[in-house]
A and B are shown apart, each in its own frame.
Chain A
Amino acid sequence: MKLYPGNFLIDQFLSGVSGAYANQLLTNFGVVVRRESNLPDSHPVDDWLASGLLDYRDGSLAEPLCPVPLASCAIAAMKCFCVLSGLQAPIAEQGAKILGCRSILTGFTPKGTQSAGKSCHLIPSRDGQIALNLARHQDWEALAALFSTESSVSSWVSVRRHAKHFSSKQLLDTGRLLGLTIADALASDSSTPNWFHIPFAIQTKEQGFNQKPSKQSPLIIDLSSLWAGPLCSYLWQQAGAHIIKVESTARPDGARQGNAEFYQLINQGKHSVSLALDTHQGQQQLKNLIRQADIVIEASRPRALRQMGIHAEALLESNPGLTWLSISAYGRCKTAQNWPGYGDETAVAAGLSHIIYQVCGAWRFCGDAIADPLTGLHAALAGWAGWRSGGGKLIELSLYNVVRHCIAATAPQDNDYRRRYRAWRRYLAQIPARPRPKILKAQRGTAELGKHNHLYLHPKSTLVKNFYDSNLAAI
Chain B
Amino acid sequence: MIVLKPGTRLKSAVCETQIMLVKGRGEHDLCCGGIAMQALNAMGSPTTQLDFDSPFAAGTLMGKRYVNSDGSIEALCTKAGLGSLSLGPNLDNLLQIKQTEALPASD
Contact = CB atoms under 8 A, between A and B. Distances in A.
A225 interface: yes
A146 interface: yes
Interface string A415-430: 0000000000000000
B43 interface: no
A227 B7 contact: no
Contacts of A177: 20, 76, 78
Given A178-B76, A342-B107, 8 more contacts: A120-B107, A135-B106, A145-B7, A145-B22, A149-B7, A226-B104, A250-B100, A257-B102
A251 B104 CA distance: 10
B103 A225 contact: yes
A254 B62 contact: no
Interface string A338-349: 100011100000
A210 interface: no
Interface in A235-276: 250-259
B100 A251 contact: yes
Nearest to B25: A150
B102 A303 contact: no
A261 to B, nearest CB: 13
A137 interface: yes
B3 to A, nearest CB: 11
Contacts of B62: 303, 338
A135 B22 contact: no
Given A148-B7, A174-B7, A338-B63, A226 B106 contact: yes
Interface residues on B, range: 20 to 34
A145 B107 contact: no
A142 B76 contact: yes
Given A144-B7, A144-B22, A307-B61, A119 B76 contact: no
Contacts of B106: 102, 106, 117, 135, 226-227, 254-255, 258-259, 369
* B contact patch SS: loop
A136 interface: yes
- Sorted nearest first, the 5 A-B pairs with minimum C-beta distance are A254-B103, A342-B107, A148-B7, A258-B105, A144-B6
A372 interface: yes
Interface of A: 102, 106, 117, 119-120, 133, 135-138, 141-142, 144-150, 174, 177-179, 181, 225-227, 250-259, 301, 303, 307, 338, 342-344, 369, 372
Contacts of B105: 254-258
B25 A344 contact: no
Contacts of B6: 144-145, 148-150
B104 A178 contact: no
A120 B106 CA distance: 11
Contacts of B100: 250-251
Contact of A141 (B22, B104, B107): B22
Contacts of B101: 136-138
Interface string B76-94: 1010000000000000000
Nearest to B65: A138
A117 B107 contact: yes
A227 B103 contact: no
26 contacts: A102-B106, A106-B106, A135-B104, A136-B101, A136-B103, A141-B22, A141-B23, A141-B74, A144-B23, A145-B20, A145-B21, A145-B22, A148-B6, A149-B6, A149-B7, A150-B25, A174-B7, A178-B76, A225-B103, A226-B106, A226-B107, A250-B100, A255-B105, A256-B105, A369-B106, A369-B107
